[in-house]
Chain A
Amino acid sequence: MGGALYRQSAQRRWAALALLAGLTVLPLLLQAVGHEFYVSFVSRLLIFALAATSLNFVVGFGGMIAFGHAAFFGAGAYTVAILMENGISSALVAWPLAIAVAALLALGIGLVSLRTRGVYFIMITLAFAQMIYYLFISLKAWGGDDGLSLASRSTLGSLPLSNDAVFYWVVLACLAATLLLLDRITHARFGRVLQAIRENESRMEALGYPVHSYKLLCFVIGGALAGLAGALIANHGQLASPSLLQWTQSGTLLVMVIVGGVGALYGGVVGAATLLLLEEVLSHFTHHWHAALGLALLFVVFRAPHGIAPWFHRRFSRSKKNEAPRE
C-alpha cells in the first residue's frame, strides 16, 4: 500500500522496542540523578502524545480534518472527575467509561458532521466542540469555569498511582498499547479501506464499500482514544479543567499532528514531544516564549512542510519512492 510511513521494517520495530525500553527505565534514571520532577513532565508529554496520536488517526489516516478533538479529550477527563465526585474511583470502571463517553460523543458529532466536507467539516467539528465547552463551563454542578478537581488519582488494583513513577508506567503502557493497536489497524483490512477512501472516496463507494460507515468508525476510534488520554490527563493533574475543552486545545493538538507528521504512526508522539519540549526549553530562556514558539511553527510550515517524523523517515530509511512497498 502507499502508506509507506505506516510500514514497519524490522529495523524500525527494533528502534521502537529500544525506545520503549529507554522510556521504561527513564524514571529510574531520573531518580538516580535527582530530577524526579521530570517524571511528571514526561507523563504529561506522553499523555499529549496519546491525544495527538488519536487525532492523527482521524486526520492523517481517515483524511478528516477535525478541529474539535478537544471535546473528546475533555469529555474523558470530565467523566473520570464526575465519577470520582460520585464515589467511583476505580480506574477499571472510570477509564473504560471515559472511553465510552468520548466514543459516544464522537459517534453523535460524527454522524452530523460527516454530512459536510472540506472547510465546512472543519468548522462544524469546531462548533460542536465549542458547544461542549460552553455546556461544561456554564454548568455550575460540574465546576463551571474552575473545572472539577479530583480528590485523588484513580485506583488501579493494588498499583499506587499516586506515585508519579507508577503513574508514568501506566501512561506509557497506554500509549504503547495505543500505538500497537493503531499499527495493527492500519495494516489490517479496515486500515487498507480507510487509506483507499482517503485516496479516492467515490471509487471506494463504487467498489461496494459503505464509505460513510468507515469514516464514522475511524472518527469514533479517534474520539475514544482521546477519551483515554483525557482520563489520564485528569488523573495527572487531579483536575478536569475547562481549558482541556477549549478550541485552542483542539488547535494545539492539530498543531502537534502537523508538526510531527500527518499520517505518520509516530507523528503525534513526535509532535507532542517537540511542542512540549520546545515550550519547556523556551520558557526557561524568555518570558515571551509564545512568540518564539510561533516563529518555530512558522519555520516548520515553510521549511519542513510534511512534519518532522517524515523528515526523519526520509533521512534514515532507504525506502524507494516510486515503487509500492508490497511486491
Chain B
Amino acid sequence: MSEPLLNIVGVSRHFGGVHALSDVTLDVVAGEVHALIGPNGAGKTTLIHQISGAQMPDAGRIEFSGADITRLSMHARVAAGVARSWQITNIFGRLSALDNVALAVQGRQRDWGSSFRFWAPVDAEQPIIDEAAAWLAEVGLAGRESTLAGSLAHGEQRQLELALALATKPQLLLLDEPMAGMGPEESERVVELIEHLGRRVSILLVEHDMDAVFRLADRISVLVSGRLVFTGIPDEVRAHPEVRRAYLGDVDA
C-alpha cells in the first residue's frame, strides 16, 4: 500500500486514573476507508478527539501527510486537511442550512483568502454561496437551503453535519458515528455517500452498524478498553477469535 496519510504512534491519554487510550498505534493510508470499532467506552471518540485536536494526547505522536501535528490547534489541523463530524450533532442551529455550509466553505483560506475582511458584504459572494448549495445537494439536502438548521429533522441535521465537514475539503475525514439516530433510509443514503467519497477522501469511520462497517471499510481496527486489539481487512476481522470474543460476540448476541 501507499505511504500512510495519517500515522498515530503510541498515543496514550488518561483522565485522572482512567486510561482512555493506551499506546495506540494506527495508520490510515490515502484513499482508504478505515473503520474503528469497539464496545462503548473503548476510547473511539477519545481517539477522534486526539486526531482532530479537540484534546491533546499525554504521550505519543500524530503525523499527518508526513508532518507532526501532535501539538497543533484544532483550526490549524483543519487547515492542514483534517475534518471531523460529531457523534452528537454539532451545527449552527440558528443559521440557515445554506449559511452553515457557506461558513465551512468560506473557512478554506487557501481557496477564498482570509476571513478578516470588514467591508464587502458577504451576501454578495456568489461563488461561496453556490458551492455551499452544491454541498447541500451532495448530501441530499437540496431544497432545504433557507431552512434554519435547528428546525431540520434529526436525520437532515446529521446530513448537514456531514456537509459541514466535507465543505472544508479535507484529505482525511473523521466520522464519529455518522449514522447515529438515523432511520434505515437515511442511513442507506449516508452509506452510499461514503462509498462515493471513499475514492476521493480518506476516512476514519467510527460506527456501530456492523453491516455498514463491513460494506464500507477497506480495513478495520478494533479498540477494546483503550487498547488496539487488532487491525486487518474485514474478512480477517470477522475470523479473528479474540475479536469475536471481545466485541463481535456482544453484537451477535
Whether chain A touches chain B in the assembled complex (some CB pair under 8 Å)? yes
B119 touches A188 (CB 8 A): yes
Q: Is A141 an interface residue when CB atoms closer than 8 A count as contact? A: no
Q: With A196-B95, A207-B78, A207-B164 in contact, is A184–B122 under 8 Å at CB?
A: no
Contact A324:B95 (CB < 8 A) given known A206-B78, A210-B75: yes
A191 interface residue per 8 A CB criterion: yes
Query: Within the complex, what minimum Cβ distance (angstroms) separates B105 from chain A?
Result: 9
Contact with A along B72-93 (1 / 0, CB 8 A): 0111101100011000001111
B122/A188 in contact, CB under 8 A: yes
Q: Chain B contacts of A217 at CB under 8 A?
A: 116
Q: Select one of A187, A200, A209 contacting B107, CB under 8 A.
A: A209
Could you tell me the dominant secondary structure of chain A's interface residues? helix
Given A207-B103, A210-B73, A324-B148, is A190 in contact with B94 using a C-beta cutoff of 8 Å? no
B96: Cβ under 8 A from any A Cβ: yes
Complex Cα–Cα for A173 and B148 (A): 38
Q: How far is the CA of A185 from the CA of B92 in the complex (A)?
A: 20
The answer to whether the Cβ of B121 comes within 8 Å of any Cβ in the partner chain is: yes
Tell me the bound Cα distance from A263 to B127 in angstroms: 29
Decide: B84 and A189 in contact? CB cutoff 8 A: no
Number of interface residues of B (CB under 8 A): 43
Q: Which one of B75, B99, B103, B115 lies within 8 Å of A190 (CB-CB)?
A: B115
Judge if B180 is at the interface, Cβ distance under 8 Å: no
Chain B residues near A205 (CB-CB < 8 A): 73-75, 78
- Indicate whether B118 reaches chain A with its CB closer than 8 angstroms: yes
A323 to B99, CA, bound (A): 12
A203 at the interface (CB under 8 A from B): yes
B117 an interface residue at 8 Å Cβ cutoff?
Answer: yes
Rounded to whole angstroms, the CA-CA distance of A203 and B123 in the bound complex is: 21
**Interface check B157, CB cutoff 8 A:** no
- Out of A191, A193, A203, A326, name the residue touching B91 (CB < 8 Å): A203
Complex formed: what's the CA distance from A185 to B75 in Å?
23
Number of interface residues of A (CB under 8 A): 33
B146 at the interface (CB under 8 A from A): yes
Is the CB of A306 closer than 8 A to any CB of chain B? no
A209 to chain B, nearest CB (A): 6
Are A2 and B103 interface neighbours, CB within 8 A?
Answer: no
Q: Please encode chain A, from 176 to 209, with 1 for each CB lying within 8 Å of some chain B CB and 0 for all others.
A: 0000010011011111110110011011111111
Contact of A211 with B by CB under 8 A? yes
Q: CB-defined interface of B98-134 with A at 8 Å, one 1/0 digit per residue?
A: 1100011011110000111111111101000000000
Could you tell me which residues of chain A, from 301 to 327, have a CB within 8 Å of some CB in chain B?
Answer: 322-324, 326-327
Contact A192–B92 (Cβ < 8 Å)? no
Chain B residue contacts of A327, Cβ below 8 A: 145-146
Looking across the interface, which residue of chain A has its beta carbon closest to that of B95? A2
Does B40 touch A at the CB level, under 8 Å?
no
Min C-beta distance of B14 to chain A, whole Å: 22
**Beta-carbon contact of A209 and B115 below 8 Å:** yes
Distance (Å) between the CB of B84 and the closest chain A CB? 6
Question: Which residues of chain A are near B52, meaning CB under 8 Å?
Answer: 206
A188-B121, A192-B122, A208-B107 known; A326+B148 contact, CB < 8 A: no
| B90:A202 contact, CB within 8 angstroms | yes
Bound together, the chains give a CA A188 to CA B122 distance in angstroms of 5
Which A residues are CB-close (under 8 A) to B90?
200, 202-203, 206
Identify 12 new A-B residue pairs, CB closer than 8 A, beyond the known A196-B103, A207-B104, A323-B148.
Answer: A1-B96, A185-B119, A187-B122, A190-B116, A192-B115, A206-B54, A206-B78, A209-B115, A211-B75, A217-B116, A326-B99, A326-B146
